[in-house]
Structure 1
Amino acid sequence: FVMTERNGNLYGRGTNDMKAGLVNLALTMIELKANNELKNGTVRFMATTGEEVGGAGSKKLYEEGYMDDVDYLWVAEPSPETIIYSHKGSLNFRITSLGEAAHSSMPNHGYNAINPIMKYLLELDEKLNNDPRSNEVLGKLVMSTTILNAGNQVNSIPEKAVAEINVRTIAEFDNDEVIALFKETAEKYNQEGSKIEVKVTMSLPSVFTTGKSDMVELTKELGKKHLNLDIKVEGSPGVTDASNLLRGKDASFPFMMYGPGETKMAHKTDEYVRKDYYLAFFDIYRELILGLTK
């Protein structure tokens, strides 16, 4: 919880994902304002809450019109070697199976909540992860069951089982279709005597843009200049606030994810940002803003 410099890295919770990029943007804008360098246009700084758990902040900013007059959007997530111009969507489900408790020696007097939810999850895993549809940039949809809780003692039939599932979606197999499939499959099981409830706890659509813009080209030049890196332009399996902020925009809208930090360090213990990259991004962002507004 205290930023610590060691071996050229800045360690601390959030340094990599993505407070370094956020501070880069904030201080760059403060300096541009203080030095009266921005002669044309307007730069809008949008800091959001809840990006990891539903994107409530970016959803609110979108609904209140903060993206209506925006010509470019970039997100300062960690990715110094690669400009991300498209990414998958993200769907979270909470699936609850209800049964009836009983002694394990007399299971016929109850209803095991685990059995139907296991069959339900395996059926959906089979359908989703083996679906042949694929996006040319982002690849195939991915479903992962990540949490499963049930029962309270070994000799009792569990009356409740709860699972959490994350699905990374693509435009060809989008959030609405996945949600409908989860609900239709639950209804099938319920007609056979199960009690399965489906709750969508997060739904962020995929982002697909062409990646062709003056912003991307200028950023590639600046990455080479300040980081001495040949910047790649690719899609990502991750998700950003762009899922909410780009609602209603077409594929030609200039968007990128580009910031200091290491993508591989996201959600890891002892995360860090390279100090030289962090400092270089002040120059990259300053020259990017001035280049796009000249």
Structure 2
Amino acid sequence: MNVVELTRRLVAFDTVNPPGNEAPAMDFCADLLRSAGFDCREIAQGPNRSNLLATKGLDSKLPALGFTGHLDTVPLGAAPWSQPPHGAEVTGDKLYGRGTTDMKGGVAAFIRAAIDTPVPPGGVALLITAGEETGSDGAREMVQAGDLPAIGALIVAEPTLNRVTQGHKGALWLRLLTRGITAHGSMPDKGVNAILKMAKAIQALEDFVPGESHEVMGKPTLNIGTISGGLNTNSVPDLCEVTLDMRSVPGVEHGPLRAALADRLGPDVEIETIIDLPSVWTDPADPWLMSLSQHAGRIAGAEAGPASAPYFTDASIFTPALGGIPTVILGPGDPALAHQTDEYISLDRLAQSEEIYCEALKDWNRTEQ
């Protein structure tokens, strides 16, 4: 089963999240990897959901090279698809289907590379997750389950057009709540208007700066994503809710950022955390990273130089849990096609990524964690 056929098999599993239903796809991957001599441990994550840790050739004295990717996908959307979203149809250089670019193609490429390449010193570890699209739930489950192997560097196979990408912004999503007292709309003085409280809070956010800029990632950002409140037109609202999406950069810690925001908003605004995923960044001068960049340039013509991804990945969970190891985002998908109707992946880029991953395994000789 080559990398194209493996991608097609993975796309055929409907793993739209919610609800996910990743377990059958994980079972399939585990069976394939066990037949190639890997030790596989599936970590449950609720009904019909699981994560997979597959390892081979681990050495207690040397760290393994790690790969990670997720098998859940976003919903299909309302627009009609020209190709069956789980049909995995091939037209020319394009393999269509939900999850082809984000990111079952990347998972197929590193599975195929890990099976076909001799085991490097320290071994290889594949961390295949569920629930990434809803906030890296599966990665968190794997870390909490414990017993992760010693990994010296991590490749995240998210879509980058096979360019080595040194990191990504963090994500801090918050829910803001203001409370009031309901009353008849004709007698607003008898109540306390929660929407008016929130309006003051929104004004306070207008010039709030989430932190200093990063030389590659740029500025941290704040977006007010949703607002809701009120019972009906002729009632004083007793509750108003706003959600915020803040994207952080290295040097911006989420704890102090949340505290600064709370201080700016004042005691009338309650704050709840929805997602808390830190930024990830590896020094572009890291020798392992530089070697990987050379392979990507030679094999895929990928641009060199520092770059960051606009999205978050499971590295927000795994990289800190593994001791802040060097981490790159490198995958065959096109980030512009992620979550799109008629999502597809290039067969050429799929083959290139498999070759890059094979070279990474051949080169792996890290002696320190």
- In which range does the TM-score fall when normalised by the shorter chain? 0.7 to 0.9
* Residue of structure 1 equivalent to 2:62: none
1:50 touches 1:57 (CA, 8 Å); kept in 2?
yes
SS in 2 for 1:71: strand
**1:7: Cα distance to partner?**
4.7
The question of 1:222 aligning with 2:301 is answered no
1:168 touches 1:237 (CA, 8 Å); kept in 2?
no
Report which stretch shifted further, 256-265 or 64-73.
Answer: 64-73
**1:68: Cα distance to partner?**
5.8
Residues 99-136 of structure 1: per-residue CA shift (max 9 Å, x gap): 2223322222222211111221331242126x5x2222
The question of 1:38 aligning with 2:119 is answered yes
Amino acid at match of 1:273: I
Question: Which of 278, 287, 293 is the equivalent residue of 2:359?
Answer: 287
Residues 216-271 of structure 1: per-residue CA shift (max 9 Å, x gap): 233223223332333343123422211121216777x4221000111222233332
* Residue of structure 1 equivalent to 2:102: 17
The question of 1:202 aligning with 2:283 is answered no
1:78 touches 1:263 (CA, 8 Å); kept in 2?
yes
1:88 touches 1:169 (CA, 8 Å); kept in 2?
yes
CA distance in 1, matches of 2:342, 2:253: 35
* Residue of structure 2 equivalent to 1:120: 201
Amino acid at match of 1:123: A
CA distance in 2, matches of 1:254, 1:202: 23
Q: Which runs of 5+ in 1 are unaligned?
A: 191-195
The question of 1:170 aligning with 2:249 is answered yes
* Residue of structure 1 equivalent to 2:167: 86
The 5-angstrom pairing of residues 178-189 of structure 1 reads 178-186=257-265, 188-189=266-267
CA distance in 2, matches of 1:199, 1:174: 17
Q: Which runs of 5+ in 2 are unaligned?
A: 1-84
Relative CO higher for 1 or 2, CA cutoff 8 Å, sep ≥ 6? Answer: 1
**When the two structures are superposed, what TM-score results if normalisation uses the length of structure 1?**
0.85
**1:15: Cα distance to partner?**
1.2
CA distance in 1, matches of 2:185, 2:178: 18
1:209 touches 1:250 (CA, 8 Å); kept in 2?
no
2:167 touches 2:281 (CA, 8 Å); kept in 1?
yes
Question: Aligned in 2, Cα 1:111/1:184: closer, same or farther, shift over 3 Å?
Answer: same
**When the two structures are superposed, what TM-score results if normalisation uses the length of structure 2?**
0.69
Q: Could you tell me the percent identity over the aligned residues? A: 28
Question: Aligned in 2, Cα 1:225/1:173: closer, same or farther, shift over 3 Å?
Answer: closer
Amino acid at match of 2:249: I
